[in-house]
Amino acid sequence: MYETLPPEAQRAIVSKQLVTLLDLVPKDKANKVISAATRLKKRHATIPDLKAKEKEITNLLDELRRDSKRALIDSKSNRDELLDEAIQSLLCWLNDIWRVVYEHNVNFALAHACLIFAAGSLLELGSLPGE
């Protein structure tokens, strides 16, 4: 049940409930729990922000759509640069998703949603009007 909660709710439960429970257990056990939590926090400090990358890719796709319309009007286009940037962002994002799932073993549902979004983005890149 805890795993299905959003990360903010998980943190709230831990900070409000676990801290009071630590006061009730012997000091050595409380120190072990705190030590384990500190190790986990250090280990997961480098987890990439998957949601931020989704917004970046959405913005790039929007810019590509605008560029294709602009190219029809004044024959100027940044299509190649925008496509290159979008592809590089998707590759970087796939690497981040890999790290979250396989190195940190967390956020599986979010990673799955991100992979579905990435696949849809690739399909959209392939279907954009171009030269």
**CA–CA distance, 78 with 6 (Å, rounded to integer):** 39
Same domain membership, residue 70 and residue 39: no
Do 87 and 121 share a structural domain?
Answer: yes
Which residue, among 58, 77, 59, has the nearest Cα to 67 in the 3D structure? 77
Confidence check: pLDDT of 27 > 90: no
Same structural domain for residues 111 and 56? yes
Same domain, 28 and 86: no
Q: Do 35 and 74 sit in the same domain of this protein?
A: no
Please state the pTM of the whole predicted model. Answer: 0.64
- Give the whole-angstrom CA distance, residue 20 versus residue 101: 31
Average pLDDT over residues 100-119: 86
Residue 57 CB-density burial (10 A; 0-12 exposed, 13-18 middle, 19+ buried): buried
Q: Say what the pLDDT of residue 130 is.
A: 63
71/104 same-domain check: yes
Q: Do 37 and 16 share a structural domain?
A: yes
Are 87 and 33 members of one domain? no
Classified as helix, coil or strand, 29 is helix
Structural domain including 76 reads: 50-127
